[in-house]
C-alpha cells in the first residue's frame, strides 16, 4: 500500500515508518522537520515537510495514498499554551480525516493516548474506576491534551458514519526505546513505592510499531479502539500487592492475567489484531533499573 505516516521524524514515527517500510509498503513520511538532502543519509521511504494544521497541506499529502497513519501531535499539555495544543492536535486530525474521506482513503490509523482516561495531567485528583484499565473504562479527561485525543476519536466515529473509511485508534501506554528506558523507567524498577498515572504500564516503541503495522493492514470495519501496552509492569512488581499497599481499597482490582501485570489490559488488541508484545523493560535494564551493556 501507499501509506502516509505523519509525525514520521518523532520517536514513534521513526519506528513506525521503518516497520511499514520493512513490511514492503510505499511510505510517505510527513513532519515539520526540513527534508534531508545530504548524500549517504538513509531515511526509509519518501518524505515531505508539511504543517498539517493547514488544510491545503493536509489534502496535498493525503492525495493518492491508500492509508493514513496519524502520529503527529503535541504529545503532552505542559510545553505549550493550551490553545496551541488544542489548535495543533485537533485541526491536524480534522484536516487529515477530512482529506481521507474526500479522497476515498480506505484505512485511517489514529494514534491516541492512554491519558484519554484522565489519569495524566489532571488539575484535580483522579483515580480510575478500576484496573487494569480497558477499552470499556469511562473517559474523564481534564487537561487539553487528553481532550484533543477524545475529539480525535470522535472524529473517527463521525468519519465511519459518513463514508466507507475504516478506522483504528491505538491508545499507547508511555512509549520507551533504548534511549530513555533507564531515565524514564529506572526509578520505577528500583522503587515500588513510586506511583504514576498508569500504574507502571509502558510500551516499547518497536512493539508499538508492530501494532501500527497490524492496524494498517487490518480489514476490520468501522472504528475500533485498542490499548497497546506491555503485559508486565516496569520492574515486574506484584501488581495486587503494590495496589493494596499504596492505594488501599480506593480502586477496584479486576482479574489479572499475571502477578506482574501492568495497569492496562491489551486483551482486545491480542484478540482482534493478533498483536503480542515481544520486548520488555528487562531487555534494556537490570533489576536495579540500570541500562544493560550492549
pLDDT tens digits, one per residue of 75-102 = 999 999 999 999 999 999 999 999 999 9
pLDDT tens digits, one per residue of 11-21 = 999 999 999 99
Please state the rounded mean pLDDT for residues 24-53. 88
Please tell me what DSSP assigns to residue 232: B
128-156 burial by CB neighbour count: b if 16+ within 10 A, else e?
A: beebbbebebeebbbbbbbbbbbebbebb
The pLDDT score that the predictor gives to residue 179 is 92
CA distance 132 to 253: 7
pLDDT, greater one: 30 or 249: 30
The pLDDT score that the predictor gives to residue 117 is 96
Please state the rounded mean pLDDT for residues 93-121. 97
Distances in Å between the Cα of 123 and the Cα atoms of 34, 116, 144 are 36, 14, 11
CA distance 61 to 3: 10
66-75 burial by CB neighbour count: b if 16+ within 10 A, else e?
A: ebbbbbbbbb
Residue 40 pLDDT class (50, 70, 90 cuts): low
The pLDDT score that the predictor gives to residue 36 is 82
Residue 45 pLDDT class (50, 70, 90 cuts): confident
Domain definitions of the chain by residue range: 2-177+203-231+263-280
Please state the rounded mean pLDDT for residues 259-286. 97
Query: Would you give the distance in Å from CA 288 to the centre of its chain?
Result: 27
CA distance 151 to 89: 9
Q: What is the CATH number of domain 2-177+203-231+263-280?
A: 3.40.50.720
Q: Is the pTM of this model over 0.75?
A: yes
pLDDT tens digits, one per residue of 209-229 = 999 999 999 999 999 999 999
CA distance 104 to 106: 6
Residue 41 pLDDT class (50, 70, 90 cuts): low
The pLDDT score that the predictor gives to residue 292 is 94
Distances in Å between the Cα of 240 and the Cα atoms of 26, 34, 233, 254 are 45, 48, 12, 10
Whether the pLDDT of residue 38 is over 80: the answer is: no
CA distance 181 to 95: 34
Amino acid at each position: 500500500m501507499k501509506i502516509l505516516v505523519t509525525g514520521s521524524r518523532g520517536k514513534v514515527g521513526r519506528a513506525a515508518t521503518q516497520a511499514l517500510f520493512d513490511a514492503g509498503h510505499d511510505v510517505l513520511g510527513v513532519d515539520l522537520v526540513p527534508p534531508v538532502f545530504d548524500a549517504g543519509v538513509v531515511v526509509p521511504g519518501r518524505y515531505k515537510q508539511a504543517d498539517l494544521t493547514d488544510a491545503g497541506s493536509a489534502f496535498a499529502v493525503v492525495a493518492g495514498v491508500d492509508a493514513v497513519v496519524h502520529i503527529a501531535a503535541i504529545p503532552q499539555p505542559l510545553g505549550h499554551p493550551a490553545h496551541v495544543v488544542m489548535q495543533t492536535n485537533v485541526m491536524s486530525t480534522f484536516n487529515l480525516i477530512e482529506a481521507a474521506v474526500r479522497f476515498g482513503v480506505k484505512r485511517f490509523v489514529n494514534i491516541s493516548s492512554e491519558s484519554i482516561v484522565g489519569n495524566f495531567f489532571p488539575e484535580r485528583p483522579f483515580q480510575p474506576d478500576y484496573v487494569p484499565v480497558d477499552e470499556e473504562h469511562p473517559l474523564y479527561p481534564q487537561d487539553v491534551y487528553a481532550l484533543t485525543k477524545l475529539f480525535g476519536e470522535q472524529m473517527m466515529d463521525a468519519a465511519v458514519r459518513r463514508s466507507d473509511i475504516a478506522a483504528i485508534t491505538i491508545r499507547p501506554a508511555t512509549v520507551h526505546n533504548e534511549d530513555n528506558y533507564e531515565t524514564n523507567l529506572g526509578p520505577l524498577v528500583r522503587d515500588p513505592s513510586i506511583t504514576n498515572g498508569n500504574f507502571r504500564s509502558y510500551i516499547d516503541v518497536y512493539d508499538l510499531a508492530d501494532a501500527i503495522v497490524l492496524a494498517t493492514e487490518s480489514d476490520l470495519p468501522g472504528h475500533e479502539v485498542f490499548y497497546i501496552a506491555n503485559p508486565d509492569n516496569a520492574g515486574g512488581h506484584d501488581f495486587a500487592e503494590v495496589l493494596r499497599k499504596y492505594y488501599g481499597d480506593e480502586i477496584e482490582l479486576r482479574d489479572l492475567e499475571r502477578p506482574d501485570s501492568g495497569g492496562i489490559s491489551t486483551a482486545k488488541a491480542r484478540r482482534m489484531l493478533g498483536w503480542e508484545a515481544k520486548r520488555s523493560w528487562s531487555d534494556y535494564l537490570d533489576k536495579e533499573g540500570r541500562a544493560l551493556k550492549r
